[in-house]
Structure 1
């Protein structure tokens, strides 16, 4: 079976995909890759490719989807199939870029945990979920402020990947939560327009983290995409 590589969102690790890793690992190599060590999307994609098998299925959520698009741009011949979850193919808007400096300053000033709780996690979920919120804060604190800084810079300076997506005709899944406030449904409609062959799934009752909010639905969508 084709190996499956999962790329997590900003300040997340393998816990983001824990239900899917458990559900899809029978007879298949499933790995969550590290996208925390570099400050550009290009360098993060290069690192994934250095550690990846020769050919693989690739699933990325949020920032992980952004890195997945760059992996596809750099080495399209190695990506057998692509799943883009709650992500954005566009370069960052100037008004969003402008807000990064204050967030970086908070992280470097020791305020990462509070910033996750008051700024990020409330926008992740379609409805409050204390268990998922605690997990998100724990993942961020385990990764630490320097990872926050590197990932913020990588997101701030990322390229537009619309042409990359339009050039890929392999099996593709585009999936998002209907209540995603960070990467809204319109971004996924844009991607589906670029990749009309893709399976397109919008999950009601889910926000930015459907892998945790509606894990069984996401696992089944990925299973069908893989087979």
Structure 2
């Protein structure tokens, strides 16, 4: 039976993040929305999306959720693809920034949060007008309630490197060479921790890799699913 793919987006992102990506033909794709205020609960959502083994795909916060799903049920994760992410524990300055953004959402200033986060999504923090508006539409579709849940979930994550080092599934790590939020160095560390990983740095991509290099994401998933099925 073909392996399903379980796909988790980043913060303020939804399934439209992957709309330009060609997923492997013949494999069901299940998108998981990030709407709960705890990484463990979100990992449970990923694990309950399908029965049995699956290929896990995550970007940014979605990849962090994927790391926790891998820690909880490594036997379920037949393949792992992560991008634009960080496997380390939260830093004090990150916690402060998340609190500030949550205060803005609580005060009814969600649009300001979208504008603050927008530059970090694009190569060198310089989006085109069309790309910026595309991000605004997606973030508005996610909405302030889910944004608050995601901001609450961020500080509940833990260092994931122990889980990564014990992984036995084939893995692929994709890094945007112009990602100012999660630079390539973060991904080299992740790839070094995963025993059966392949890393690809995409020089022209920023944080939203599936928008900026959907071809590379699709090709990576084709190779990963083939490896997972063979394994």
TM-score (norm 1): 0.93
More divergent stretch after superposition (40-49 vs 132-141): 132-141
3-state secondary structure, aligned to 1:148: helix
2:15 matched to 1:11? Answer: no
The 5-angstrom pairing of residues 1-227 of structure 1 reads 1-20=2-21, 23-24=22-23, 26-36=25-35, 38-117=36-115, 119-126=116-123, 127-227=126-226
- In 1, Cα distance between the equivalents of 2:194 and 2:48? 27
Contact 1:104 1:152 in 2 (8 A): yes
Superposed CA offset, 1:39-95 (max 9, x none): 110011112212222110001000000000011111111110001111111111011
| Cα offset, 1:33, TM superposition | 1.1
Task: Report the number of matched residues.
Answer: 223
| Cα offset, 1:157, TM superposition | 2.2
| Cα offset, 1:196, TM superposition | 4.5
- In 1, Cα distance between the equivalents of 2:12 and 2:30? 17
CA RMSD of aligned residues (A): 1.3
TM-score (norm 2): 0.92
Contact 2:24 2:221 in 1 (8 A): no
Structure 1 stretches of 5 or more lacking a match?
none
Structure 2 stretches of 5 or more lacking a match?
227-231
- In 1, Cα distance between the equivalents of 2:97 and 2:9? 22
3-state secondary structure, aligned to 1:68: helix
Contact 2:174 2:199 in 1 (8 A): yes
